[in-house]
C-alpha cells in the first residue's frame, strides 16, 4: 500500500537523483546525497542502528575500492596510462581493427588490476585523445569507446575485487574471493570474449581498416604535449612529461602484490590470525 513513508522516500530519492545529474551551481555530488541521508535519519525512516549495520557491510569494500582508485591516480599522474594508450596506437601499425583489440585489452587489464569505475573514468578521455590524434571521425570513434566501456565493466566479473557491488555481495552471502573466482572466472572470461567478438562483428563496418600510423619517437610528445582535452587527473602543462620508470615499476609491483594478497588472505588469513592471537 502506498503510504506517506513511501511517498517521502520516493520524493527524496528522485530529488537527490535529479540534483546529482543537474548539479546546480556546480554543487558537489556528495552534498545532495548527504542531505538525503540526513532527511531519512531525521524522519526515522532509517534508524541509526541500520546505518552502523550498513557501514559494517560496505566499509571494507569501500576502502578497497578507494585504495585502488588512489593507486590508479598515482599511475595516471606520471602519465603511464596515456603512454600505454598511445603505445597501442603505435603498435596497431596503421590498422584500425588491431587498435580495436588493443584498446579492449587495455580496458580489460585496467579493470582487472584496478576497478571498473576507475578504468572507465581514466581510459575514456585517454582513448578519445588518442583517437583524435589519429584523426578519426566521430562515428569511427564510437566502436572503440562503446566496446572499451563495456569490456571495462564486464572485466570486473572474473575475480570480484574490481567492483564495489561484487565485494558487498560477497560479504552479504558469506562467499570468499577464492570460491567466487573458482566459480566465475571461466564463465566470466567466456562471456567477455564473446561480447568482444560480437562487438567487433557489429561495428566491423564502422571500424576503419586503415588509420594514421604513429612512429615510436612521437609517443613522448603526444603523451605530454597534446593532451588538450580536460581531464581531472591531467598533468601540469608546464611539466616536461618525464616518466619515472623506477617509480612505475614500483607502482606496478605494489598493484600486483596487493591483488595477489586478496586471494592469499582468503586462504591463509584465518590461520595467521590464530597463530598471532
The reply to whether 32 and 82 lie within a common domain is: no
For the chain, helix (H) and strand (E) counts, in that order, are 11, 0
Q: How far apart are CA 126 and CA 82, in angstroms?
A: 6
Quick one: 199 and 113 in the same domain?
A: yes
What residues in the chain have per-residue pLDDT under 50? Answer: 1, 226-241, 269-277
162 touches 112 (CB < 8 A): yes
Check: CB of residue 220 under 8 Å from CB of residue 90.
no
Is the same domain home to 86 and 124?
A: yes
> Do 126 and 8 sit in the same domain of this protein?
no
Beta-carbon count within 10 A of 227 CB: 20
Full residue range of the structural domain in which residue 167 is found: 67-276
Q: What is the pLDDT of residues 48-61, one digit of tens each?
A: 888 888 888 788 77
Residue 75 lies inside a defined structural domain of this protein: yes
In this structure, are 145 and 260 located in the same domain?
A: yes
- Specify whether 34 is located in the same domain as 73: no
| One domain, residues 31 and 140 | no
Instruction: Report CA Rg, the chain.
Output: 22
How confident is the model at residue 217, as a pLDDT?
Answer: 59
Is 53 a member of any domain? no
Q: Which of 173, 211, 203 is nearest to 91 (CA)?
A: 211
User: Please, which residues bridge with residue 95 across strands?
Assistant: 210
| pLDDT at residue 151 in the model | 93
The answer as to whether 265 is a domain residue is yes
Grid coordinates representing 45? 525512516
Distance from C-alpha of 243 to C-alpha of 241, rounded to nearest angstrom? 6
Q: Give backbone dihedrals phi and psi of 176, rounded to 5 degrees, phi first.
A: -90, 165
Q: Using CB atoms within 10 Å of the CB of residue 114, give its burial: 0 to 12 exposed, 13 to 18 middle, 19+ buried.
A: buried
CB 195 within 8 A of CB 154: yes
Q: Per the domain annotation, does 60 fall within a domain? A: no
Residue 35 sits in the same domain as residue 75: no
**CA distances, 53 to each of 58, 59, 166, 236 (Å):** 9, 10, 18, 43
In a domain, 160, yes or no: yes
Q: Which of 44, 158, 129, 144 is nearest to 98 (CA)?
A: 144
Q: Residue 25: its pLDDT value, please?
A: 85
Q: What is residue 235's predicted lDDT score, i.e. its pLDDT?
A: 45
In a domain, 58, yes or no: no
Query: Do the domain assignments include residue 61?
Result: no
Q: How far apart are CA 191 and CA 252, in angstroms?
A: 27
Looking at the structure, tell me whether residues 127 and 255 fall in a common domain. Answer: yes
Q: Determine the pLDDT at residue 147.
A: 93
Same domain, 44 and 73: no
- Looking at the structure of the chain, the number of domains it has is 2
Say yes or no: 42 and 140 in one domain.
no
Q: Which residues pair with 210 in a beta bridge?
A: 95
**41 and 177 share a domain?**
no
Sequence-ordered alpha helix ranges (H) in 155-176: 164-173
Per-residue pLDDT reduced to its tens digit, 39-51: 999 988 888 888 8
In a domain, 57, yes or no: no
pLDDT (0 to 100) of residue 223 = 53
The continuous run of DSSP H or E covering 163 comes out as none
Amino acid at each position: 500500500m502506498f503510504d506517506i513513508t513511501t511517498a517521502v522516500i520516493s520524493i527524496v530519492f528522485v530529488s537527490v537523483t535529479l540534483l546529482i545529474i543537474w548539479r546546480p551551481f556546480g554543487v558537489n555530488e556528495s552534498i545532495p546525497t548527504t542531505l538525503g541521508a540526513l532527511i531519512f535519519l531525521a524522519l526515522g525512516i532509517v534508524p541509526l542502528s541500520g546505518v552502523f549495520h550498513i557501514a559494517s557491510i560496505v566499509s571494507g569494500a569501500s576502502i578497497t575500492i578507494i585504495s585502488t582508485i588512489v593507486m590508479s591516480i598515482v599511475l595516471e599522474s606520471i602519465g603511464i596510462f596515456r603512454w600505454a594508450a598511445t603505445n597501442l596506437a603505435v603498435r596497431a601499425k596503421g590498422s584500425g581493427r588491431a587498435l580495436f583489440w588493443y584498446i579492449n585489452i587495455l580496458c580489460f587489464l585496467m579493470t582487472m588490476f584496478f576497478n571498473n569505475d576507475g578504468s572507465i573514468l581514466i581510459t575514456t578521455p585517454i582513448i578519445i585523445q588518442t583517437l583524435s590524434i589519429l584523426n578519426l571521425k566521430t562515428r569511427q570513434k564510437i566502436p572503440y569507446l562503446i566496446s572499451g566501456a563495456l569490456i571495462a565493466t564486464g572485466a570486473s566479473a572474473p575475480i570480484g575485487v574490481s567492483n564495489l557491488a561484487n565485494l558487498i555481495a560477497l560479504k552479504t552471502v558469506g562467499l570468499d574471493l577464492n570460491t567466487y573466482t573458482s566459480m566465475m572466472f571461466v564463465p566470466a572470461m567466456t562471456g567477455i570474449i564473446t561480447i568482444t567478438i560480437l562487438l567487433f562483428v557489429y561495428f566491423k563496418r564502422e571500424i576503419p581498416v586503415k588509420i594514421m600510423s604513429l612512429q615510436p619517437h612521437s609517443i613522448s610528445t603526444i603523451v605530454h604535449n597534446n593532451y588538450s582535452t580536460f581531464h581531472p587527473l591531467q598533468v601540469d602543462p608546464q611539466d616536461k612529461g618525464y616518466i619515472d620508470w623506477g617509480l612505475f615499476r614500483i607502482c606496478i609491483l605494489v598493484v600486483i602484490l596487493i591483488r595477489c594478497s586478496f586471494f592469499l588472505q582468503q586462504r591463509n588469513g584465518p590461520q595467521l590470525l590464530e597463530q598471532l592471537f
